Each structure stands twice: as C-alpha cells, then as structure tokens.
Structure 1
Amino acid sequence: MRAAGVPRFFPRAITDWQRDDDVRAHVLVQDERVVGYGELWFDTEEDEVELARIIVAPDARGKGLGRALVRGLLAQAAAAGNHDIFLRVHPDNATAPRCYRAAGLAPVDPALAETWNKTQPVDYAWLRHDPEASDA
C-alpha cells in the first residue's frame, strides 16, 4: 500500500474525495497496477477512524485483494494510534461484508447500529474492528 495517486480506472472525482485534511487515501498495487483504493477518515474529537470508499477493480475481485486492502487500512489506522476503527456497508452490498469479516471486522451491537443509522440516508450495516474476529 502506498499514498494514492489517481488510478486510471477511477473517475476523476476521487481527487475531490482526498481534499479533506482528515482523509488519508491509499491504493493497493499488484504487479505495478493499481487494483484497489480505500480511505481512512480520522475523527480526532471522537478518537476514532472509519474505513471508507473501499474499491477493488472489477477484474481483481474474488482473489483476496479486498481483504488485503482492508487489513492494510486497519494496520495504518492502528499505527496512527486509533483503536476504535469501524466501517459502514450499504445494505445493497451483499458481497463486501464477508470480506470485511475475514479481515477482522465484526458487526456492532444492533442497538448501536440503529442509533448510528438515525442520521444516515439508509440503514447501513456497521462493523467495528475486532482483532479476535480475523481469520488470519
């Protein structure tokens, strides 16, 4: 994983995603080709970080690269001193949760998810980093 440039298979809008000072963008490179993108959103007031905008190139999916990307992002978040690490998954995304669980994320308590979803446009599935949940 290295600091992000704009991979050619992503829309130009990705550069706008990275403008916020609290966002750290990363890419996953395999054989000198960018195959994945993900962000860490730091919230210093809450002392937490959210993994966001995790994308794997369509032709690279199903090969464990998403899990590698998420594990790398988790390591970066932990190295920055953040132990409250979570992400949200859109309810229409049926495949990603399996990847995230394999990388060490576990669903939050349903009551907590309900509270967090009160201000969201959809009812996301919320997961939190749980080192004990990883299949590593």
Structure 2
Amino acid sequence: MELRGFSEGYGGRVASWAVDAKEVALLSGRVEYPFPAELRTTWRTADADIHSYLLFDGERPVGYGEVWLDDVEDEVELARIIVDPEVRGRGIGAELVRALLGPALDAGYAEVFLRVVPENAAAIRAYHQNGFVDVPAGLMEEWNDGQPVPYCWMRYDGEQVDAGELRG
C-alpha cells in the first residue's frame, strides 16, 4: 500500500464510496445521497492547510483522507477518512490511518486529533489500534458544542504506538 497526494481526477470515485447520506455529509457537509454531481469536482477545499491523500493498493485507490494543519492551535486533525466499500472490513482503514499519521506527525505540530461519529465502531477500533485515545469527556462536550452531530473526539497518544512503526 502506498499513500499518494490526491488529484482531482479521483473525485468522482471517492465520492462514489459514500454509501449513504451520512457518509456524503462526512465528506461534503451536505446531507444528500447520492453524492451531488455538482460537488464531485468541488467538494475538496483548496485551503493550503488541508492536504488530501489517497491510499493505493497497486494502482487502485482504496482509501481517502485529509490532514488539516492548524498553526493557531498547534495541532493537526485527520479528517474525511473513507475506504472503498468493496474493501471495507479488511484492515484498510487502519492502514490508511497509519499512513496518514506519517505526514501528520512530520508536520511537527504538538497534537494530532480526529473526530468520528460514535456509531462507527470499525473506525474507532482502527483509531485505537493506531494509538488514538478518547479525549476527556468534558473536553469532548466542549468541542461538540456547535457541531452538527456529537462526535467522539480522539487524540493521538504517541506512547501507545511507536511512531517509527507508523512510518515504517
């Protein structure tokens, strides 16, 4: 598996991986299904602090995720992580998270976070396997204030997993 930078030619394919309105909302912010055709080429922001990646199995893209850099908060957030439905349940999500941690940690920020809907048990397992831990309940409540849904917020704990293993 290889992590590569995202190119716009894959937008339609990644959009097609969203199997219901909830997954469309997580990728685009719009609760619609199927993924709105007019968003397929514009759903990714051109923000310089957002880096988009595809995980490839050979020449086939199997996962997508973003690394959001925040200079003000001195943190990175892994976001919009999705795996091709044809390969879900095979550990690709965990591998994608490990791959995304490479550029996230290399960015040199103090903290790495992510958020996930609490009912996504498979994703939460993948995040725990890769050294993420839940933030304290009070902080989670604070961060969820104003969010469209209540998320499970997680922080990367480098002591849980050897960061060298993640890059290697």
Question: TM-score, normalising length from structure 2?
Answer: 0.74
What is the root-mean-square deviation in Å for CA atoms of aligned residues?
A: 1.8
Does 2:62 match 1:60?
no
Q: CA deviation at 1:18?
A: 3.5
CA distance in 1, matches of 2:89, 2:109: 29
Unaligned segments of structure 2, at least 5 residues: 16-38
Counterpart in 1 of 2:14? 10
- Give the AA of the match of 1:76: P
Question: Which of 147, 154, 157 pairs up with 1:127?
Answer: 154
**Structure 1 residues 34, 26: closer, same or farther in 2, change over 3 A?**
same
Partner residue in 2 for 1:81: 108
Q: For the residues of structure 2 that align with 1:30 and 1:24, how far apart are their CA atoms?
A: 20
Q: Which amino acid aligns with 1:9?
A: R
More helix per residue? 2
- Paired with 2:74 and 2:136, the residues of 1 have a C-alpha distance of 19
Q: Which has the higher strand share?
A: 1
1:46 and 1:39 map into 2 onto residues whose CA distance is: 17
Partner Cα separation in structure 2 for residue 49 and residue 99 of structure 1: 18
Q: Would you say the 8 A contact 1:101–1:134 is kept in 2?
A: no
- Counterpart code for 2:140: A
Larger radius of gyration: 2
Percent identity between the two aligned chains: 46
In the TM superposition, what is the alpha-carbon distance from 1:15 to its structure 2 partner?
4.4
Counterpart of 1:3, as a letter, is G
TM-score by length of 1: 0.90
What is the count of residue pairs matched by the alignment? Answer: 136
1:98 corresponding residue in structure 2: 125
